[in-house]
Structure 1
Amino acid sequence: MAYPDFTVFDLRQQFGVHFRAEQLFGDVETVEPSAWLRQSIKIGLEVGFNSEKSRSERLVTPVLLELCERNHREFSIYSGMNLDIDPAQGLRGECDFICSFSRIQDFITAPVFCIAEAKKQDLEQGIIQCAAQLIAARRLNELEGHSPRALFGCSTTGTEWRFLRYEGNEFILDEGRYLVNDLPALLGVLQRIVDLSRAGFTVA
């Protein structure tokens, strides 16, 4: 088993987690995107995409790079790297995007604070896969001496984004969905995640 193989039932039975939904970011402040990001997304949408990889490259990567630049590059973005924490329990495999306050680019290291999965269509399956990855990310953080209150994740088609928070033994799915054609709202949510996560870690 690997991250894409998990079902909600598997996660509940194997790791004792629960799922519920609420509005996670109802009062978030919008963030004005740069002209570069607007142009990048415009070109990405016009060129189109025919795979999860192309969605990642043309729509998701520019948004995450903008977020990183806005925060003075204080975190690393790992793309397409394996997070193999406990293969015996299925906590292994590739993650589309991992964000970590570590400045090491060569390999994934804690503190990981957010994981995003870029899916061709199925946001719901992406949420389950991301939840499994967040369980692994928490274990990595704990192994390296970090115990944040919450970790965040996202499932996205590139055009539509849905977020979740992992806290205690519970996953909270955001009832709201954010669209790439409303970049100020989307960037506002992502910036809120960075701010909340920064407060939960000691960032060197």
Structure 2
Amino acid sequence: MPYSEFTLKDLKLKFGIKNYVEPIFYDISPIQPSDWLKTTLQKTSKLRARTEKAKSETIVFPILIEIKDKNDDFITIYSGDTLVADAEKGLTGECDFIITKEVKSFDINFPIMQIVEAKKHDIDIGIPQCAAQMYGAKIYNEKNNTPIDYIYGCVTTGNEWRFLKLNETLTIDKRIYYLNEIELLLSVFQNIVDHYKGLIKKS
């Protein structure tokens, strides 16, 4: 089965991944968006973004570009690429967005975060798919001799953003962030990138 067909029960039964709902981020400091992002979101708020693709282009991608610009020498964003981790186990399929710690590679290398656009405006529907992609990224890194402690994920409707963290278990953030909290949303993304920057310095 592809990533999109997994359930949380599948992940538990097939791979032993239990899930918990707990806070993930503490004491995050707001980060002010750039004038470009403010203007972009103001303009796109006037559009009728009814489909996942429209929301991706008008809301999600500009926010990811903002994070990329702040960390241009550290991360790359892949959109709509296929991540093949283990086809026999169903760990394969197209991913909405993959953030990788690799800026010069043509192909996907060192994925650190998966982002899934929620279907039917329901953020909970996207959690199993995102979790499966996160586990796929974990296996992908291990096969490429770049294992890391955590893989992060995010499911978004454009307005709502819910984060996940995977090591041996899956943590689903108790809190949902909203687009009108853009300063906190940017801070969470930066917190994730900084986590990996710290790991690289130690290695």
TM-score, with length taken from structure 1: 0.94
Matched AA of 2:149: R
Could you say which residue in structure 1 is the equivalent of 2:146? 146
State the percentage of identical aligned residues. Answer: 35
Q: Note the C-alpha offset of 1:202.
A: 5.7
Q: Note the C-alpha offset of 1:72.
A: 3.1
Preserved CA contact (<8 Å) 1:158 1:180: yes
Q: Note the C-alpha offset of 1:201.
A: 3.4
Preserved CA contact (<8 Å) 1:150 1:197: no
Give the match's secondary structure for 1:193.
helix
Matched AA of 2:33: P
- Residues 16-51 of structure 1: per-residue CA shift (max 9 Å, x gap): 101001111131111010011011111222112121
Preserved CA contact (<8 Å) 2:134 2:166: yes
Q: Whose strand fraction is larger, Structure 1's or Structure 2's?
A: 1
Q: Note the C-alpha offset of 1:200.
A: 2.5
List structure 1 segments (4+ residues) > 6 angstroms apart after TM superposition.
Answer: none
CA distance in 1, matches of 2:145, 2:86: 17
Q: Note the C-alpha offset of 1:165.
A: 0.4
Preserved CA contact (<8 Å) 1:146 1:201: no
Q: Note the C-alpha offset of 1:87.
A: 1.5
Could you say which residue in structure 2 is the equivalent of 1:191? 190
Preserved CA contact (<8 Å) 2:134 2:153: yes
Matched AA of 1:155: V
> Structure 1: 5+ residue runs without aligned partners?
none
Superposed, 1:1-204 pairs within 5 Å as: 1-104=1-104, 106-110=106-110, 112-120=111-119, 121-167=121-167, 169-201=168-200
CA distance in 2, matches of 1:86, 1:144: 12
In structure 2, the CA distance between the partners of 1:148 and 1:202, relative to structure 1 (3 Å rule), is farther
Give the match's secondary structure for 1:21.
strand
Q: Mean alpha-carbon deviation: is it higher for 28-37 or for 40-49?
A: 40-49
Matched AA of 1:78: Y
Q: Note the C-alpha offset of 1:102.
A: 1.0
TM-score, with length taken from structure 2: 0.94
